[in-house]
C-alpha cells in the first residue's frame, strides 16, 4: 500500500504542471502568497480532473459508482466528514473528525491526510502544491453540482 501511495505521489507531482499552460498566469492572478480563497478564484476543475487520475487508484467519482480502496467521491463536497458513503468502512478517527468537506477541510486533507486526521488509513502522503490542491478541490466541487 505504501508503494502504491509513493507511486501515486510521484505521478501527481509529474502531472502538476503538465498540460496547464495557464498555470503561471493563474498564479499571477492569485497574487503573491495567495490564500486558499484566492487560489479557488483561479482554480481549474479540468486540471483537477487530470490530477484526480492519481486518486482514481483508490476512489471512483461517478454517480452511483462503487466504493473501492476508498469511498466514491461523487457528491462529497459539503457532506459530513467520514459519513459520505454508507457502504464504506471509515476509520473511527475520520468519523470522529467532525465538520464538512469544504474548501478548507479538503485543502488540509489533500495536503497531508495523516496530519489532518491522525489515525486515518489513507496511505497518501499529500500534494504539496497549493494550486494543484485548489484545482482538485474545484473538480470535487464540480462532482457535487
Residue pair 144/77 in contact (Cβ under 8 Å)? The answer is: yes
Q: Which domain holds residue 58?
A: 2-142
- Per-residue pLDDT, 105: 99
- Per-residue pLDDT, 9: 46
Residues whose CB falls within 8 Å of the CB of residue 25, separated by 6 or more in sequence, listed in order: none
40 φ/ψ angles, rounded to the nearest 5 degrees: -65, -25
Tell me the mean pLDDT per 10 residues along the chain, length 145: 46 49 93 97 97 95 96 98 96 97 99 97 95 98 92
- Per-residue pLDDT, 21: 76
Q: Count how many domains the chain has.
A: 1
Determine how many CB atoms are found less than 10 A away from the CB of residue 118: 9
CATH number (domain holding residue 105): 1.10.760.10
**Residue 119, all three cell numbers:** 489515525
Among 134, 114, 140, 117, smallest CA distance to 125 is for 114
Amino acid at each position: 500500500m505504501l508503494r502504491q501511495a509513493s507511486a501515486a505521489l510521484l505521478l501527481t507531482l509529474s502531472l502538476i504542471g503538465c498540460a496547464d499552460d495557464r498555470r503561471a498566469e493563474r498564479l499571477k492572478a492569485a497574487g503573491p502568497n495567495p490564500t486558499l480563497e484566492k487560489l479557488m478564484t483561479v482554480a481549474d476543475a479540468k486540471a483537477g480532473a487530470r490530477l484526480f487520475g492519481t486518486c482514481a487508484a483508490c476512489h471512483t467519482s461517478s454517480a452511483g459508482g462503487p466504493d473501492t480502496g476508498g469511498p466514491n467521491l461523487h457528491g462529497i463536497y459539503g457532506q459530513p466528514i467520514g459519513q459520505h458513503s454508507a457502504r464504506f468502512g471509515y476509520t473511527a478517527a475520520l468519523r470522529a473528525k467532525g465538520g464538512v468537506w469544504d474548501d478548507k477541510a479538503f485543502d488540509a486533507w489533500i495536503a497531508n491526510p495523516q496530519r489532518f486526521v491522525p489515525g486515518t488509513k489513507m496511505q497518501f502522503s499529500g500534494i504539496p502544491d497549493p494550486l494543484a490542491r485548489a484545482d482538485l478541490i474545484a473538480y470535487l466541487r464540480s462532482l457535487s453540482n
